[in-house]
Every structure is written in C-alpha cells, then in structure tokens.
Structure 1
Amino acid sequence: MEKFDFEQLPNNSEKQEKYHYNDSRFEYVVPPLKKLCETLRHRFENGEYDVIISDEVRARIPTLIIKKVMTGLNANKVPETYFIASGRGTIDSKSIKEFAQSHNLGNKKILIVTEYISRGGSIMNLCRVLKDDNVVDYEIACLSLNHHYLSDDGKKEWEQIVSNEELKNHEIFIGEYGEGFGATLHDMSGVTKNIAKGDEIVGAHPIKSNTEQEKVNLSRIDVNTAAQEILDSIRK
C-alpha cells in the first residue's frame, strides 16, 4: 500500500481561470483529478491499465476525464471502460459477478475510479465481489477521501480500513480530502445506476427535451476541456 502525504493533498477551493467551463462546478472537480493524474502519469504513459471501472454514477464524470487523459498520454492503449453501480453499503453481486466473468476481467489490470471514500463500505463491497471471481489485479483512484482521516485518530482508522483483505496490497491513490462531491457529480452525470460499457449507461433516463440534450452536449465539451487542462498541466 503506497503511503501518501495528507498535508500535500490539494484543497478543493482552488479555481482555474485559463479554461472556460459551461458548468462552473467542473472547476472544483479538476484539481483533485489533476492530482490523481499527475500521480498516475507514468502508469498512463506505459499503458498499464486494460480496464477502467467507474464505481457509482457519481464517478462517471471523473472516469470520462481520466480516460481522455490516458488517451492523451498514450493513444495506443485505450482501456475498456465500464460503469458499475455498486451502491453505498449494498451491491448486486450476482450481476457484477456475471459481468466480470463475461468480460474476462480476471486476466486484466483494472483501475477502479470512485468519487468518495467515507468508511470504505462501498468500495470494499465492489472489490470483494471482484476478488470472489478471481479478479485481483486492481488499483483504486479516489477523487475525495473523508477529511476525518487527517486527524490522528482518523489516520489510525484509515490504516485499519486499508488492512482489510479487499484493499490490502492494492494501491489507493487520493485526489483530495473533503466531503466528496455527492449530488453535484450525480446531477452532472444525469444517469441512473446500472452496468454498461462505453459512454452510454444501460438504464439511463432518456433525453426528454432539447434543453436537456443541450446540457448533455455542454457537459461533454466540459469533459474535454477538463482533460485538456490536466494534460497541459502534466506536460509542463
């Protein structure tokens, strides 16, 4: 398990002025994503990941941005991308197990992207199901870690969490400490929970109006802008 310096994690109040976002909330999502991508840069350049799994709908936007950064750093190795609703505390283990088997995930290196770790229940549930199906080569990119783990007691609790079988011996990379982005990222994604591959999620709510479609189109532009901002920062 890689140790990380809590004090050096970025504060989510940082804003960028050079890049324009149609949805200003992207300004708060980019800094922790930039931290993650800078940390994972060499892995991305070397094309180490075969698959990205997005944990929960809230991780959809971060996952799409990370994938574009990966592609920008190594266009010859574009990982398969899947969006899975693991749930906070509950999980459809049967569906995920069938999904893992049908896509032969046991032979692939996986990056799991999650929006927030509070007590670790959701991410451990997902990892437990994957491990039960012999999927063992995975690492985790977490956009936001509960700021409680900055305290002395919190650091001890975090060490206990990462000592669990589902997380032990698996790298966990942290973008920032905070309360997570919750409803903000859920609203930005505009999808329901299910399993799917690519840029569309099975079970997504249909677009009901031109206004909603326009919002989706603008969000896609913002994802591209965020990825470009991160790439520009990494390449400096």
Structure 2
Amino acid sequence: MLKFLMFDMGLRKQYRPDMIILQIQMYQLSRLLHDYHRDLYNHLEEHEIGPSLYAAPWFLTVFASQFPLGFVARVFDMIFLQGSEVMFKVALSLLGSHKPLILQHENLETIVDFIKNTLPNLGLVQMEKTINQVFEMDISKQLQAYEVEYHVLQEELIDSSPLSDNQRMDKLEKTNSSLRKQNLDLLEQLQVANGRIQSLEATVEKLLTSESKLKQATLALELERSALLQTVEELRRQAAELSGAEPDLTQPEPTGD
C-alpha cells in the first residue's frame, strides 16, 4: 500500500530534499482559499499565516499527524479512488467548514493553535460532512492552473531586479529550511501512523477470520439443532405408535350372583 502511494500516486515527490513539490502544494492551497473562501484568506494573510504554518503536516503525513485515525483511513480510501488531489479537497473543506470559528480569533498564535489543535478534533457528523463535500468537489483544472501560475511567478522572480531577487530568495530559503525541518519530523510521524494502520489492518483481518469461524460454528449448531428436533419428533411418533398398538390388559371386575 505504501509503495502504491509513494510511487504510483506520486506522493514520494513531496518528500524530496528541495521541498519544491510541497511549496507548490502550499501555493495551490493558498490560491484555493483565495478563490473559494476569500474572507478567510484575507484574515489569514492579515496575520501573515501561510498554509505552510498549518497545512504542511497535513500533506506530509496525509493528515495522520493530527487527525483521528478513523478519519485518516477515510482519507486514504478517497485517495485510492480520486488521487492525491483529495488532500487539497479535504484541507479546503476543513478550513471552509470551520471558517466562522477561525475568523473569531484575532492573532497569529490563537489562529494557528485553533487550526492545529482544535480543528482536528472532528465529531462523526463533521467527519461525514467533510467526506461528502470532498466527493462533490472538482478542482483538477484549478490545481493545474495554479501549478503553472507558480512556475511563471518563479520565473518572474528570477528575472526581477537583484535587490528584490535577493530579498525574495532569502524568504524562500527560510521557508524551505522550515519546511525541511518539518519534513524530517513528520516523516517519523508518518512511519508511526503507517505502523498503526498496518496494525489495525491486521486486527481487522483477525476479526473477519473470527467472524467467519463464528458463522460456521453457528451454522453447524443450527444444523445439529434441526437434526435433534427431527430425532425428537421421530421418537414421539414411535412412542405414539407403540401406545396405540398395546392390547387392553384391563380385566373386567367380577359381578355378584
């Protein structure tokens, strides 16, 4: 399963040392917020909160570092069905559904704390709502357009004046360094999460085997019960036949002369 995700689904690219793919993903998520939830985007920008501050762990661990394991399993299921763009859909749905609560916070620390610690505590209703919204979204064209847009901006950055280029490159290097550190930490968390998933899969397999054995045992008991009932019925029939076949041995009482 891990090999399929890393190589066939292309998730391995986001763990490369240069972190370019992750930076593109963070830009794409930022643009999605801008287009789908402009007020939330402006609120986060006002407090200088970019997606890399809260969403990098989501993408690097496929939400396993902060969200309930049951929710993570559903995300994996959707990734197998629709591909890696599911992570953008889930992130966008989560942020959009919690937008009123996020907008209530007025400083960087409380906003980031809410997104990292409070938002992941999903109830069953919120979890199902998020899953349903993911199936209704279609953002493939936007993601492709945003990726092209990112590369165009990078080319413009290279062609800009030396002073502006140095300033932007310095900012990108700091972001890259921060993301690389998060990558190292989250890779370890991803390994732990994968171990938990494998353990749960083994447990489910054992439970399914036990369920199959119980069904077989139940069927055997039902057959045995049916056979016993037939035997009892046959014994009753034989007893009735024997009772009807016995001669009347009762002697008449003598009468007086």
Given the two structures, how large is their TM-score scaled by the length of structure 2?
0.28
Computing the radius of gyration from Cα coordinates, the structure with the larger value is 2
Structure having greater relative contact order (Cα 8 Å, sep ≥ 6): 1
Which structure dedicates a bigger proportion of its chain to strand? Answer: 1
Q: TM-score, normalised by structure 1?
A: 0.30
